[in-house]
Amino acid sequence: MRPTGRLATLILCVSCSGETTPPSEFDPSLAKDTSLVSFDDGVLTTASIGQALAVKIHAQKSSMRLSAWLEGDYADASLASDDLLVQRSIATIQVNPPSRPREFTLVVQDDGGRHNSIRIRASANGDASLRVIPRYSGRRAVPDLWAVVFPDRTCDDAIRSDDFESKYFVSNNSGVLSFDHVPAGKQLAVVARVRSYAFGCVDLRPLAPNSSSDLTVTVRDEPLTLSRTELDATLSIQFDTQASLGWDTIQKTAINRLLDAFATTQVPEEDQLLDAFERVSVFHQGELATRRVQGAWKSIAASWVSSHGYIRSPASKTLGLAKSAATGPMNVRITSATDGATVAVSTFGVVPAGAFFQANSTFTYVAGADDSLTLGGVLKLDPVGMMATVGDARAGQDVSGVTGIADSIRKSLSCTQFAEALQANDSTGLCGVSCLTDICNKSISDMWSRALVAAAYMVRLDITAGGKATIGDHAEPSAFDGTWVGSASATDPTIAAFPMGGWARGTAVK
């Protein structure tokens, strides 16, 4: 990205006969690169105070009329004529420089309203030519080289400055950056750089007027700017024999704990369901307890649950089928923080991870001299929440319109028909079919949500990730490619710790 200079917004015209204004048809919106005129001296030329300057103009037509005026801080500078006639595609305009040093703009407009301009510097000391030869000693990619000249400044305040004008800026990848017009007689800070991730600077003593000089500037890499980090990364899980056995144990333990908390095999399922009926019924709790004791609700519920596939069994089947989806990879967002980096897991495999991974974890975060990155920290997850999340996703795949395991069980149990069977046995209460249907649905949800809390345990993933970084324009990491190693340990004492690892790759957040 090449910086551009600023022009004054005030537009005036000076000719030999006094002040005038630009032509009424002048349209600043017309792009300069569509103009039919160009200048011999490119975008900048110089004039000596007290000596008239002839500016040569080339036109794409052999004959045409041009108008001209001055803009900016031109003081008492003037034009010998503001109406020019092109002959054989050439015209020359005389600029009478101001009586003191100034920099201003000459604008020339063709007969189609298109315009072009050239900067003119009037100087008492004249100009010099300077060739800047950068010598880059780093290891990063060099898409292009920049050179910037700062008059009346030193390297101490100029080396990393982006406050420069286009007239003192050159960019290419040829290895030599040439300035035809730098101010003579002034202290210069000459900066060579690769974007904003490698810099070099030389304080140059004033150059003699009309002199030509070569200057070599050594350019060195800046340290990685970790404070600009914002990466989306993926950490795979590579399952060798030990990791496979360990992760399988974590999954099975989570499933068994969840099922036992949801519908234990130690108590008949119909009793657990009717217990939930009473628990969720705020207004009819006493009535339901009485009808459960006096009526035949227990036998009706036992028959109904057994004939509709039970409660635990469908949950167990869905969770078993979902195991393969709970194997990663971990997709994380890495963001710079005051004391390192914040790592947040967004998805695990194909499911959102917010329900079972700790929201944000603080990692140590350091850069090496070779542009390597190292992250170290702990991620914590609830395997019960993980299996419930992948199980809910699997239930939605198996039955259209189902939102999860609890919803699947509600539908297979047919709460409305179950309520009708209960009501047919005892219709004396205030809670009728509609009321019982609602209680049935809420009971399954309550049993499932209570199980998620009761069964929960934590797994700790200790992670060290490292890799080589790709550098952005401001020395920030824009990507990295490496590996991670670590271990998994659980709060459940039946699960032994085991090593884990995989590849780690990241790219800049888009």
Phi, psi of 494 (to 5 degrees): -80, -10
For residue 23, whether the previous peptide bond is cis, meaning omega lies within 30 degrees of 0, is no
- Please report which confidence band the pLDDT of residue 434 belongs to, taking 50, 70 and 90 as the band edges: very high
- Indicate the pTM of the whole model: 0.73
In the chain, how many domains are there? 4
Q: Are residues 291 and 197 in the same domain?
A: no
Q: Are residues 141 and 157 in the same domain?
A: yes
Average of per-residue pLDDT values in the chain: 87
C-alpha torsion sign, points 26, 30, 36, 39: positive
Confidence at residue 307, expressed as pLDDT on a 0 to 100 scale: 94
What does the alpha-carbon distance between residue 39 and residue 471 come to, in Å, rounded to a whole number?
A: 39
Highest mean pLDDT among 151-155, 186-190, 502-506: 502-506
What does the alpha-carbon distance between residue 140 and residue 129 come to, in Å, rounded to a whole number?
A: 30
| Residue 196 predicted with pLDDT over 80 | yes
Highest mean pLDDT among 43-47, 78-82, 108-112, 359-363: 359-363
Of 14-28, 113-127, 155-169, 363-377, the least confident = 14-28
Q: Are residues 49 and 32 in the same domain?
A: yes
Mean pLDDT within 244-256: 97
| Residue 498 predicted with pLDDT over 50 | yes
- Of 71, 106, 123, the last residue of a domain is 123
DSSP code at position 50: T
User: For the chain, what percent of residues have pLDDT higher than 90?
Assistant: 62
Q: Is residue 500 part of a domain?
A: yes
Of 135-144, 259-268, 450-459, the least confident = 135-144
- Please report which confidence band the pLDDT of residue 431 belongs to, taking 50, 70 and 90 as the band edges: confident
Residue 400: domain span: 263-310+386-455
Q: Is residue 395 part of a domain?
A: yes
Name residue 198's beta-bridge partners. Answer: 194, 221
Q: Are residues 400 and 467 in the same domain?
A: no
Q: Report the half-sphere exposure of 398 (CA within 13 A, side-chain side).
A: 20
Mean pLDDT within 256-273: 96
Write out pLDDT tens, residues 294-337. 778 889 999 999 999 899 999 999 999 999 999 989 999 999 99
Smallest CA-to-CA distance from 36 within 91, 88, 110 is with: 110
Write out pLDDT tens, residues 118-135. 888 787 777 889 999 999
505 with 467: CB under 8 angstroms?
Answer: yes
Q: Are residues 347 and 394 in the same domain?
A: no
Q: Is residue 246 part of a domain?
A: no
What does the alpha-carbon distance between residue 466 and residue 368 come to, in Å, rounded to a whole number?
A: 10
Place of tokens 């989570």: 254
Confidence at residue 53, expressed as pLDDT on a 0 to 100 scale: 87
Confidence at residue 35, expressed as pLDDT on a 0 to 100 scale: 64
- Please report which confidence band the pLDDT of residue 506 belongs to, taking 50, 70 and 90 as the band edges: very high
Q: Is residue 251 part of a domain?
A: no
Highest mean pLDDT among 3-7, 281-285, 368-372: 368-372
User: What is the domain-level CATH number for residue 67?
Assistant: 2.60.40.2030
- Of 62, 89, 123, the last residue of a domain is 123
Q: Are residues 34 and 158 in the same domain?
A: no
| Residue 272 predicted with pLDDT over 90 | yes
- 242-272 b/e (C-beta count within 10 Å ≥ 16 → b): ebeebbebbbbbbbebbbebbbeeeebbbeb
DSSP code at position 40: T
What does the alpha-carbon distance between residue 341 and residue 361 come to, in Å, rounded to a whole number?
A: 8
- Of 416, 434, 455, the last residue of a domain is 455
Radius of gyration of the chain (CA): 39
Write out pLDDT tens, residues 457-480. 999 999 999 999 999 999 999 999
| Residue 22 predicted with pLDDT over 60 | no
More reliable by pLDDT, 438 or 425: 438
Q: Are residues 66 and 118 in the same domain?
A: yes
User: What is the domain-level CATH number for residue 163?
Assistant: 2.60.40.1120
Name residue 503's beta-bridge partners. Answer: 483
